Structures are given as C-alpha cells and as structure tokens.
Amino acid sequence: MYFADLHLHSRCSPDGKYSISQMAAAGAAAGLSELCVTDHCDLLDVTGQVARPFDLAPLEAEFLDAVPQKGVKVRFGLELGEAPEDCSEAEKITSHPRLDFVIGSLHNLSRKMGGKDYYYIEYSSEALCYQYLNDYMDQMEKLALLDCYDVLGHIIYPLRFMRDRDRRDVHLERYWDRLRMILQTAAQKNKGIELNTNRGRSLGEWLPILRMFLACGGEIVTVGSDAHRPEDVGKGVKDAYALLREAGFRYVCVFEKRKAQFLSLA
C-alpha cells in the first residue's frame, strides 16, 4: 500500500524546529511512500494582527537542501491560514509555480471577533464555544468559495481546544446543515478535504464528515498527521486509510503541481 502523509511542518513553521531531512527520514522509518511539507503561511498572527508579508524563499531553500530519502517522495506544499482575511494576498502566495499542494485552514477567529488564534483562547463555557464556532463556520463558508486551496484542512480544528483540552461539551452536529453546504461547495469546485489525524489522536469522529462529503459528490480526500516532530510523522495514516474505506471511498489523493492524483485504497 502506498501510504502518504500530506500535512507536516518543518523548522520553517513558527511552531516547528526540525529540518525537512529529519521529517523525511522519519517518514521513511514509518513506512511512508510520500509526504508533503506544508509549513504555515498564516495571514494573521496569533494575536489577530495582519502578519508580515510571507517569504517563500527560506522554505524553498530548506526544501532544496533536504537530503533525499530512499523510497520516499517529498512534495512542496503550504498550509495557508485565514485566506478569507485577504483573498488577493492568498491568491498571490499560492500562485507560486513550485507548489505541489495547498491546505486551506482556519486557525484564528475572524478579525471582527478579535482574530485570536484558537490555541490561545480559554474556553470558559459551552455558550462561548458555540459563539466562536458560529464565527468559524462563517469563515469556512467564505474559504470554501475561494480558489487558492486544494483541500479544506482539519475542519474539526477548534474542537482540539474546546473539547479535548478544555473539556467543554461541544459538538458539530448543530452545524450539520451548514457543514453540508460547505462540503457541497468544495465538491462542486473540484476541491477536497483533509482527514487530519492530529498525530493519531482524531480518527473516528471523522466518519460522519467523510460520509457527508461523499454524499455531496466529493472525491478528493487527503490524509495528514499534522506532525511537527519526527516521532509524529505518519501517525494515524494507516488507520485513516481504513476509515476512508469504511466511509465508502475507493481512493485517497496525493498532489503534484496542484493536481490531484488518485491512489486506490483496495
């Protein structure tokens, strides 16, 4: 089986400290055939201020200097954060000809809600969580309409902090209708979604979302561990493939030069 991890971060991300060579070596040890380095390019900083102009040059240099690993193909990608806050800048960044893959993600509240990174918020009540999730869905609806991404990244992202960290009893079921419309938009634009394993911690909760995307006509699904350390590369990928089969998908995707390639799950 051709296992691919299409979401990981090197030392070119603010929250990473390992080289692409180190991450690729870990991918080889984990039995991966392909990985894509998707370092952060966020249009807002963690406080909600407009981030300084993004410089792709250090990322390119890191990628070109990486030591090849036998049996592992390494792709060049980005995780683009908060694209709806500056659509023209997002399009400019992602037009770079070297890019293989772009994950469209949301890590922050909208600027009208303060713009703070979800990680740095204290979720003091379920009511506050749902207030922020309303904003998240608003932003996701805007993101889905854009052309600067290939897949929508970690759709359940805020739950990592609201539910898993701060133990608030919140769920996405009340947003099912809105989420269905978001997935329909992505499918109609021939875009995909990412099954993000969160280093092997999040799997089963993806099943209804995967089935919903398939029912909306979606075909493009990638798998990513969201690893920031070598020991997390590939975590949950094999189980994610099994989950895709359970959801009814026949293929998993990788990307080359922004074009989806379908790999059989059989």
* pLDDT tens for each residue of 19-35: 999 999 999 999 999 99
Burial class (CB in 10 A: 0-12, 13-18, 19+), 70: exposed
What is the pLDDT at residue 53? 82
**Domain that residue 115 falls in:** 4-264
Regions in the chain scoring below 70 on pLDDT: none
Domain with residue 127: its CATH number is 3.20.20.140
Q: According to the model, what pLDDT value does residue 54 have?
A: 86
| Residue the block writes with tokens 């539910």 | 163
**Using CA atoms, how far apart are residues 237 and 72, in angstroms rounded to an integer?**
15
Question: For residue 167, what pLDDT is reported?
Answer: 97
Count of domains in the chain?
A: 1
Q: How do residues 83-107 score in pLDDT, each as one tens digit?
A: 999 999 999 999 999 999 999 999 9
Task: Centre a 10 Å sphere on the Cβ of residue 52 and count the other Cβ atoms it contains.
Answer: 7
Q: Is the pTM of this model over 0.85?
A: yes
Nearest C-alpha neighbor of 136 from the set 88, 90, 84, 185? 84
Q: Could you give the CA distance from residue 76 to residue 86 in angstroms, rounded to a whole number?
A: 23
pLDDT for residue 231: 98
Say what the pLDDT of residue 114 is.
95
Q: What is the pLDDT of residue 48?
A: 95
pLDDT of residue 156: 96
pLDDT tens for 110-145 read 999 999 999 999 999 999 999 999 999 999 999 999
Would you state the pLDDT for residue 202?
A: 82
Give Cβ neighbours of residue 213 (< 8 Å, ≥ 6 apart): 183, 186, 187, 193, 221
Tell me the sheet residues that pair with 77: 38, 101
